[in-house]
Structure 1
Amino acid sequence: MDTQRYARITGTGSCLPTRRVTNAELAAELAQRGLETSDDWIVERTGIRARHFAAADQSSSDLGVSAARHALEAAGRLPEDVDLIIVATSTPDMVFPSTATIVQHKLGIAGCPAFDVQAVCSGFVYALTVADAMIRTGAANCALVIGAEVFSRILDFNDRTTCVLFGDGAGAVVLESSSETGLLACKLHADGKHREILQVPGTVSGGQVLGDPLLKMDGQAVFKLAVGVLDEVAREALEAAGRTPADIDWLVPHQANIRIMQGTARKLKLPTERVVVTVHEHGNTSAASIPLALDHGVRSGQVKKGQTVLLEGVGGGFTWGAVLLEL
């Protein structure tokens, strides 16, 4: 009788650009543009105190490769063991080829499938779900799932309501086939009617940028929608796995806004002590935020092997999703 195949996370890794930008530093830069903000204003509304910005010559693939190497080391694997690479990003190195193929080449491997997933801040949850399905069906055995972003490249620094929110970084996990349970349930959703509340409404045509290539967001609309759908999808994943909120050891949410994260935890009746929080140091790193937070939780000793972890994200599209797993 065939043994049931599961997908387990066997290693985590992350990478943050060297340049750390505090709220005070960003406020000083914005003041030169005639925009007023402050550390108190940003912290009160978002919980963010600092973020990291990539150097001019750093790309999403550079950050992703570094995070991937750390994850492979943690898993005790070599690049040549990898037979699937999925990169979640909204800030790819170029229009094509995919950032995943660039990561593949930089890791010194070739031949395995490599492709990008674009679901903005839900991207890592989407990518993990795809990798889980491919491992369960036997299409892969050892996958690198990476979230990598350089959001500083698409920020409007004349809009203080958005430019203070985002940062750059990458997080990665090694996902391997196992006879032990790992990922317990994955649930994904999207609704394009909400696309205008968070978007970069630009494109390239004939060598020119059409539309606006900078991020636009209706913060109040995003907040209202996010808290509701995150609670719903969390409960959907728990129900699919036959679990309850009381079974969650750690909630690792998309790190967008501390108030959204606290609101989600409150709805699930989880104490804030069981929420992994990195938004104060990283800002919103879009598809990188969940794997960055997970790696922080693991390496800090908070999140331990055998514990039940809920990952969940919501982002432009509008997309949202959750993954319940045993580490």
Structure 2
Amino acid sequence: MHTPDIHIRSVGTALPGPPVDNAAVGRRFGMDALWEQWVDAFVGTRSRHLAVDLESGERRHSLVDMGEQAARRALEAAGVDAASVDLMVFATATPDVLMPASVNLVADRLGIDGVPTYQLQSGCSGAFQALDVAYKMLLTGLHRTALVIGADTCAKHLDLSADLRSLPPTEMVNFMLFGDGAGAIVLSTEPTPGSVRLHRVLNRLTGLGRAPAQTIEWFGTADRHEKRPSSSEDYKAIEESVPVMAVEILQELLEDLDWQESDVDYLLPPQLSGQMTAKIVAELGMVDAQEVSCVRETGNNGNALPFLQLERLLPRMVQGDRALGIAIESSKWIKAGFALEKV
């Protein structure tokens, strides 16, 4: 049986509300100018978009709202109607509710029915995992058009009544690292003018025996008043491990594709924070590849990030251009990557 090529036909994204800069966060939590300088030096993220209003705590955008908006933009850009979608995959670490699955709520809003739908719960590598599922299912020849969505609403885990001055660094850093957003792409076995071939998607769990470096709790009725934090990060462990893991996935992709470093025109590095991304790029040493990053402006919005990078990348690519994307998830140490070519 002929194995089809898989093409990215379009990308769409959605960010909730205007950007919120470090000064606005500092004012909200009563922090001084020195704290803002610390954020710039340690985190390196200048702004983020939040689905909740910092002043009132009102949730103004849900995960499903953003997923729907990004999906509609991707479908419109591809010139594909809902009836043509025969597969949906959604990745998130922060669903609005545990059930029903967000993928099915978005499908309902879009008017999609009678197709396989999948939702993956994962952090920074989730979007790559969703691409991998759709990619492999399209390779079977049983499906032609897949809608892949990645979205997260991290702000709902922030305690807006918290005194940041009293928090340990593992909790305080979350107020500056994360933002909210969604992205979507249309994958197809049918190339169109301007589409980009998706060559390969890799996912590797490498967390055997390793402690998680990021934890997000889920509080139910029985434990909602417990004192444990809703989220925490071992930023030092992340700083030590992520650049090394990024190099490993880069080398695996290059060897698998029989590409040289000089063959790669664009690099989409992990988007942990402005400072961490800069360290990772330096470690990767891809001096001839143009970096495509957005985290300094958007914050770390998890599963939306690869789509935000792709939105910046695709208009730049010309025939023959090649790109590699890399993501590392520190919750239980997953490394992921993909390869693209404009053909």
TM-score normalised per structure 2 = 0.86
Q: Return the alpha-carbon distance in structure 1 between the equivalents of residues 85 and 226 of structure 2.
A: 38
Match of 1:220 in 2: 236
Deviation string 1:107-144 (CA, Å, 9 cap, x unpaired) is 11111111211220111111111111000012321111
The residue identity in structure 1 corresponding to 2:273 is N
Deviation string 1:153-207 (CA, Å, 9 cap, x unpaired) is 1235544322110000011111111479822222211215445311114443658
3-state secondary structure, aligned to 1:109: coil
Q: Does 1:90 align with 2:93?
A: yes
Q: Tell me: CA distance 1:103–1:37, structure 2 relative to 1, closer, same or farther (3 Å).
A: farther
Q: Return the alpha-carbon distance in structure 2 between the equivalents of residues 43 and 288 of structure 1.
A: 23
The residue identity in structure 2 corresponding to 1:61 is V
The residue identity in structure 2 corresponding to 1:153 is K
Give how far 1:306 is off: 4.4
Give aligned-pair identity as a percent.
30
Mapped contact 1:265–1:272 kept (Cα < 8 A): no
Match of 1:26 in 2: 25
Q: Does 1:112 align with 2:115?
A: yes
Mapped contact 2:68–2:109 kept (Cα < 8 A): yes
Q: Which moved more, 1:312-321 or 1:80-89?
A: 312-321
Q: Return the alpha-carbon distance in structure 1 between the equivalents of residues 152 and 11 of structure 2.
A: 17
Match of 1:313 among 327, 335, 339: 327
Q: Does 1:265 align with 2:284?
A: no
Match of 1:323 in 2: 338
Match of 2:137 in 1: 134
Q: Tell me: CA distance 1:70–1:249, structure 2 relative to 1, closer, same or farther (3 Å).
A: same
Match of 1:54 in 2: 51
Q: Return the alpha-carbon distance in structure 2 between the equivalents of residues 322 and 109 of structure 1.
A: 29
Match of 2:204 in 1: 189
Unaligned residue ranges in structure 2 (runs of 5+): 53-58, 165-170
3-state secondary structure, aligned to 1:120: coil
3-state secondary structure, aligned to 2:125: helix
The residue identity in structure 1 corresponding to 2:274 is I
Match of 2:168 in 1: none
Q: Return the alpha-carbon distance in structure 1 between the equivalents of residues 117 and 226 of structure 2.
A: 29
Mapped contact 1:48–1:279 kept (Cα < 8 A): yes
The residue identity in structure 2 corresponding to 1:290 is P
Kindly tell me the number of residue pairs found equivalent between the two proteins: 322
The residue identity in structure 1 corresponding to 2:38 is W
Match of 2:11 in 1: 12
Q: Tell me: CA distance 1:70–1:195, structure 2 relative to 1, closer, same or farther (3 Å).
A: farther
Mapped contact 1:12–1:172 kept (Cα < 8 A): yes
Match of 1:244 in 2: 260
Q: Return the alpha-carbon distance in structure 2 between the equivalents of residues 126 and 26 of structure 1.
A: 32
Q: Return the alpha-carbon distance in structure 2 between the equivalents of residues 86 and 302 of structure 1.
A: 26
Deviation string 1:13-56 (CA, Å, 9 cap, x unpaired) is 1000113211000011121xx68863322222222110000141
Give how far 1:250 is off: 1.0
Match of 1:167 in 2: 179
3-state secondary structure, aligned to 1:146: strand
Match of 1:44 in 2: 41
Q: Return the alpha-carbon distance in structure 1 between the equivalents of residues 34 and 319 of structure 2.
A: 42
Deviation string 1:69-101 (CA, Å, 9 cap, x unpaired) is 111112111111111111110111211121111
Q: Return the alpha-carbon distance in structure 1 between the equivalents of residues 33 and 235 of structure 2.
A: 18
The residue identity in structure 1 corresponding to 2:284 is L
Q: Return the alpha-carbon distance in structure 1 between the equivalents of residues 210 and 233 of structure 2.
A: 11
Unaligned residue ranges in structure 1 (runs of 5+): none
Mapped contact 2:101–2:119 kept (Cα < 8 A): yes
3-state secondary structure, aligned to 1:111: coil
The residue identity in structure 1 corresponding to 2:80 is R
Q: Tell me: CA distance 1:209–1:177, structure 2 relative to 1, closer, same or farther (3 Å).
A: farther
Match of 2:68 in 1: 65
The residue identity in structure 2 corresponding to 1:162 is N
3-state secondary structure, aligned to 1:112: coil
